Amino acid sequence: MRETPLLTFYELLLARWGSQGWWPADTPFEMMLGAILTQNTAWRNVEYALDRLRAECTLEPLALEALPQEILAECIRPAGYFNQKSRAIKEMATTLKARFNGTVENLFKLETSRLRQELLSWRGIGPETADSILLYAANRPVFVIDAYTRRFLFRHGLCEEKTSYDTLSALFMDALPSDPALFNEYHALIVRLGKEHCKSIPQCEKCPLALMDHIS
């Protein structure tokens, strides 16, 4: 493991706020739905969408496969981009039915890098959504990079503004023990830190200095 402050930052964050209880979902499939719905969208709106969808049908692959996309789109409207997201969800359900006997369990029999490739081949699933699913639904040791994480690294001088996704992911993976539970908490803690202390790049009124200055 390389020498970086990343492990120390994690220990400080965990000591300050404790376990964040991510991901907020009852099943792996529901987690996958949330991962698509929350793309560039506030989590509150995802909760509205999931509640409306739950009122329409059970949150299982075969139930959604059988639900007309127009109905699905109407249910998830509060989460925004509802045409694109309903298409992504429908295709996910169709693929699970056609190639994985309709269960996430069979999908998750794939080895991690194979599973990542598989998810990335699905419409509407890019690097962050794929890695979120790998970590929070399949419990694989993969670090998720999102807008908060980029901000966190940049403000601590650990990356440039345009450093690639895979480079940032490797930064964490090389600096930390390969532990899904640790990656899970760390990412959730970074999001909490970002939500509570900073809103914009590269600086904001609330946190003119590095993010960690607020809790160290």
Binding to DNA by residue 191, rule CB under 7 A?
Answer: yes
Nearest to 117 by CA among 125, 136, 170: 125
With binding defined as CB under 7 A, does residue 17 bind DNA?
A: no
Q: Which of 33, 64, 125, 142 binds DNA (CB under 7 A)?
A: 125
Q: Which stretch binds DNA (CB under 7 A): 6-14, 41-49, 94-102, 208-216?
A: 41-49
* Binding window for DNA (CB under 7 A); candidates: 42-50, 101-109, 152-160, 174-182: 42-50
Which of 147, 160, 174, 177 binds DNA (CB under 7 A)? It is: 147
The footprint of DNA on this chain (CB under 7 A) covers a number of residues equal to 41
What the block records as the tokens of 79 is: 């989460």
* Binding pattern for the stretch 68-107 against DNA, x by CB under 7 A and - elsewhere: ---------xx-xxxxxx----------------------
With binding defined as CB under 7 A, does residue 109 bind DNA?
A: no
Contacts 24+ apart (CB under 8 A), 60-63: 60/29, 61/29, 61/92, 61/93, 61/96, 61/97, 61/102, 61/103, 61/104, 62/93, 62/97, 62/102
Q: Among 40, 111, 205, 209, indicate the residue that binds DNA (CB under 7 A).
A: 40
Binding site for DNA (CB under 7 A): 22-24, 34-35, 38-45, 48, 77-78, 80-85, 122-130, 132, 136, 146-148, 162, 191, 195, 199-200
